[in-house]
Structure formats: C-alpha cells, structure tokens
Chain A
C-alpha cells in the first residue's frame, strides 16, 4: 500500500495499476532508448567526442539547422501574429475554414509537405519559375530550408497567440482610443504586452520543432555537405556509413539542445503565467 508520504489518500481505485503501467511503458519506450544513446556517447573519449563535434561539416550543419530555424520562427512570429489577429478580431467569409486549415502542417505527413514544397519551389515549379526570373532560387538552397520550417512552425505560433488575443481586454483598448491614442500606440502599449508571453511561447515551440525537423526539409534543401545539410540529415548519413560513434555524438548534442529548448519553453510559460497573475487577470 502506498504511504501518505508518497501520495494523498483517495477512495478512487487503480492508482497502483495505472501509475505502474505508465512508468513501465514510459521507461521501456522512451527512457531506456534515450539512456542507450547517452551511454553510447559516454563510451567515447573526450578527444573523439570533440573532434566529431567541431568537424567543419558538423559545424556548418549546426549553423544551418539553428540559423534557419531561428529565421523561420521569427518570420512565423510576425505572420503568425497577423493570422491569429485576423482570425480573432475579424469576421470574414471562410474564417472557420481558414482556422481549421492552420493545423494542416500538424496533420500532413512531413514527407508530403517536403515533396510538395519542392514541387512548388523547384526551378520548374510554378512559383519557382517566377522566382527564378527574379533571380531568386529557393529550392536546393538554404532558403528552401527556411521555407519548409516556416510551414512546419506556423501552427505553433498561431495556436499560442489566439487564446491570448481573445483575452486582451477590449475596454482597455477603447479607453486608450477615446483618450486619443493612435492604433500603433494602442498596439505597442496594450496589445503587445498582453500577448507577448504567448507570442514568445509560440516562437520557442516553432524554434524547437525547426531545429529537429527532418522530413519536410530533406526534399527541398538539396543536401550539399557544408552548404545545405541539416544536423539531423548528417546523423542519418553517419548511420548509413555505420559511423555509430559519430551519429551518437551528434545525436547526444541534439538531445541536449532539446532539453535546453524544453527548459526555455517551461521558463517562458511560467513567466507568462506570473505576468498574467500580476496583471490581475
């Protein structure tokens, strides 16, 4: 029988069974495999580990994975805010359809988005052709990576910002307008402070997803070593060459990065909740 030190008493049944199964399944499916990666990395010497990490090809891949994810998340923060704003504040024909469509990147398999974007943006695709005339090539360059990550990250920003925008107090805005504040002033002083934590959460979620994204990127990026090769792809290549040490070391770094991002997301959300309480809402 579980003691009251471990849990508060309850008359409901099934605590031992459900918690037991939950921890067992979690351990077997998630924790044990992650531990295997950590131990594999720990079996490397420091010099082996560092030489893999600072290899120029690896460094170029971090720069692309992180840089493209950062740029895509920034673009998503801007357009995602506009999309969320239009959906919350305005009523227009097809609004519900647009709202449902936002989740498409969540539901669409990444390989499908990948080949679809490649078809649209390749030099022979309908958008790629027009861009080529303007001298811009998106497919098979780093720009293609950014486009794929914008697609993947969009719902994170929109779905984070929407509920926060619903909660902004309209009477505050109206009061400010009555007192003579212009729309930009109202936006900067009333709306932005209220939704900023949500916007930052969406940005961080999109960034975290972008850093690890694989399926939608590999079809449009061209995958040239040192130029358009993302870190997850480099791991796959090392595995195909049976370089298990290299794959483990890079995988370990990405795992650490995931934990850092997870921590950042929790921090941002906790900060948002505190501001929410402090504002008396």
Chain B
C-alpha cells in the first residue's frame, strides 16, 4: 500500500503539471503567432485605411498603379500555365517511368527554391543584359528582355519553376500506374488515358500546386526587381509599385496595393485549406 499511494499522488502532480504546461504552451503559440503574423497583417489594413475609405479607393485610380495591376495579371497569365504544363510533363516522366539520372533531374527541378531570388534576376542579366551572352545579338535585333516585360516573365518562371512539379511528383508516384496501364492495354489512346484516368486522380494536388505557383508569381519581388528597371507604368508589377509608393512616403497607396496582395495570400490559404480538407476526406 505504501508503494501505491505516492504513485497516485505523483500521477496527480503530473496531470496538474501537464495541464499548466498545456496552457503555457498554447499561450506561447498564440502570442508568438499573433505577434509575428497577425500584427503585420493588421498593420497593412490599419495603414491602408488610415485616411478613410475614399483615400483607400483613390489609390487605385492612379494610372501607374492600374498598369502595375495589369502587368501582374499578365505575368501570372503566362507564368502559371507555362509552369503547369511543365509540372505535368515532369511528373509524368518522373512518376511513370524508371530511367537513369532521375534523382539528379528531381534535384535540378528543385534548384530554384534553393537559390536567392536576387540570383534568379542576376543570372538573367548575365544572359540577356547589355553585357550578357546574348546582349549584343539582342541589341542588333532591337529586342529587349532585361528592363522589359519578357525579363519579368522569365524571372517569374524561374522562381515559381518547381511549385506544380513538386506537388505532382510524390502524388503520382504514390498512386502508381496500374490504372493507366490497364487503360492502354484496353486500347485507350495516350491523351484519353491522361484526361480520363490520370487527371481526375491528381486534380486536387494539381490545383494546390497551381494556386501556390500563382501566389508566388503575383507576389515575387526580388527576382523581378533586378530585371524590371522600375519604369513607371511600363515594367512595374504590383510588389514593385508597393516599393515605389512606400519609398515616396505615400503610405496609404503603398499599403492599399499591399492589402490587395495580402487578400490574395489569404484567398490562397483558404483554397489550400479546402484542398487539404478534400484530400483528407477522400483518404478517409
């Protein structure tokens, strides 16, 4: 008996301690995230609406801001489909076939994630800039890539390169190819097999990769900043317009444009949460 009583006592102590620890850790978690994530989000909204709704909406009447929004939409409209097609091709080749050098290929696809965005811009300047490899060739033909829209598009493709591929590769590897093989043996064509068998299986993962790719494409700053040349109304994307307005102490307009980008981020998170919920539900 003497041996049991202290043990029960001790268990009680542990559970009181565990409860205190639980409250402490949850408090630290919420305080840390509120400080680090919610305070900046709140600051964006507070600054954007500081001078009222009218000033907020007036920020979007500026023709340079409008052209920045158009350029961001145009860039995303080129970059996202390009990287989606690439991602599907890469995932098909890597997940459905066994070949030499596969792990090297996967590492190379991930490379843009490991490289600083500034380097992504820098390498394009080294390739297409006035002193770059193709600089004089391009100049003779009067084609500009650096300090022009093509450079912005290329830099954005570079930084968002792995998003779709790295969502699809593990998903398709895990799903296997039995159903596709059956379809082919029953006489289905390649295209029909992909559209009817593979696409329905990967659609949530594909959507996930596409929205992440889109969020990064619309929000990229470092790489685009290096190649854009910051020509107002011409080569400024939304994040670059935020920088210019901020550096001119036009805080209401800077944070108003930033609030649109923040909204985009929140919509992205909502879709992502929904996609994960769908995937969980199907997994059981």
Query: Within residues 24 to 58 of chain A, which ones have a CB less than 8 A from any CB in chain B?
Result: 25-26, 29-34, 36-37, 39-40
Q: Are B119 and A37 in contact (CB under 8 A)?
A: yes
Q: Are B269 and A25 in contact (CB under 8 A)?
A: no
Q: Are A212 and B116 in contact (CB under 8 A)?
A: yes
> B141 to chain A: closest CB distance in Å?
18
Q: Are A258 and B116 in contact (CB under 8 A)?
A: yes
Does chain B have a CB within 8 A of A235?
A: yes
Q: Is the interface of B mostly helix, strand, loop or mixed?
A: helix
> A233 to chain B: closest CB distance in Å?
8
- With A109-B261, A212-B116 as contacts: A33 and B124 at CB distance below 8 Å: yes
Kindly supply a per-residue 1/0 record for chain A positions 110-138, scoring 1 wherever the CB is within 8 Å of any chain B CB and 0 otherwise: 11111111011000011100000000000
Q: Are A90 and B123 in contact (CB under 8 A)?
A: no
Contact of A261 among B114, B122, B246, B254 (CB under 8 A): B114
| Complex CA distance for A150 and B226, rounded to whole angstroms | 24
| Complex CA distance for A10 and B98, rounded to whole angstroms | 9
Q: Are A112 and B44 in contact (CB under 8 A)?
A: yes
B35 CB contacts on chain A under 8 angstroms:
127
| Complex CA distance for A265 and B118, rounded to whole angstroms | 21
Kindly supply a per-residue 1/0 record for chain A positions 173-202, scoring 1 wherever the CB is within 8 Å of any chain B CB and 0 otherwise: 000010010110000000000000000000
| Complex CA distance for A235 and B26, rounded to whole angstroms | 42
Does chain A have a CB within 8 A of B161?
A: yes
A258 CB contacts on chain B under 8 angstroms:
114-116, 119
Kindly supply a per-residue 1/0 record for chain B positions 243-284, scoring 1 wherever the CB is within 8 Å of any chain A CB and 0 otherwise: 100100000001100100110111011101100000000000
Indicate the size class of the contact surface on chain A.
Answer: 35 or more
Query: Within residues 232 to 281 of chain A, which ones have a CB less than 8 A from any CB in chain B?
Result: 232-233, 235-236, 239, 244, 247-248, 251, 254-255, 258-259, 261-262, 266
B32 CB contacts on chain A under 8 angstroms:
79, 82-83
CB nearest to A12 among chain B residues: B96
Contact of B36 among A10, A154, A214, A248 (CB under 8 A): A154
CB nearest to A109 among chain B residues: B219
| Complex CA distance for A98 and B40, rounded to whole angstroms | 15
| Complex CA distance for A90 and B116, rounded to whole angstroms | 36
Query: Within residues 95 to 123 of chain B, which ones have a CB less than 8 A from any CB in chain A?
Result: 96-100, 105, 107-112, 114-120, 122-123
> B184 to chain A: closest CB distance in Å?
5
Among A21, A180, A219, the most chain B Cβ lie within 10 Å of the Cβ of A21
CB nearest to A233 among chain B residues: B118
- With A19-B93, A36-B133, A86-B25 as contacts: A214 and B118 at CB distance below 8 Å: yes
A127 CB contacts on chain B under 8 angstroms:
35, 39
| Complex CA distance for A26 and B109, rounded to whole angstroms | 7
Does chain B have a CB within 8 A of A71?
A: no
Among A40, A87, A116, A182, the most chain B Cβ lie within 10 Å of the Cβ of A116
| Complex CA distance for A25 and B220, rounded to whole angstroms | 20
CB nearest to B272 among chain A residues: A103
Q: Are B184 and A12 in contact (CB under 8 A)?
A: yes
Q: Are B154 and A30 in contact (CB under 8 A)?
A: no
CB nearest to A7 among chain B residues: B99
Q: Are B127 and A212 in contact (CB under 8 A)?
A: no
- With A85-B25, A104-B265, A248-B126 as contacts: A22 and B119 at CB distance below 8 Å: no
B71 CB contacts on chain A under 8 angstroms:
none
Does chain B have a CB within 8 A of A224?
A: no
Contact of B97 among A15, A26, A92, A262 (CB under 8 A): A15
Does chain A have a CB within 8 A of B152?
A: no
A15 CB contacts on chain B under 8 angstroms:
93, 96-97, 99
> B54 to chain A: closest CB distance in Å?
21
Q: Are B261 and A82 in contact (CB under 8 A)?
A: no
What are 9 inter-chain pairs, A to B, with CB distance below 8 A?
A37-B122, A96-B273, A101-B33, A110-B219, A110-B221, A111-B243, A112-B44, A183-B14, A236-B225
Q: A110-B222, A111-B242 are in contact. List 13 more A-B contacts (CB 8 A).
A: A7-B100, A33-B158, A36-B127, A107-B219, A110-B221, A116-B41, A151-B36, A180-B10, A211-B116, A214-B117, A214-B225, A219-B243, A235-B118
A interface with B by C-beta (< 8 Å): 2, 5-8, 10-15, 17-19, 21-23, 25-26, 29-34, 36-37, 39-40, 79, 82-83, 85-87, 89-90, 92, 94, 96, 98, 100-117, 119-120, 125-127, 150-151, 154, 177, 180, 182-183, 208, 211-215, 219, 232-233, 235-236, 239, 244, 247-248, 251, 254-255, 258-259, 261-262, 266
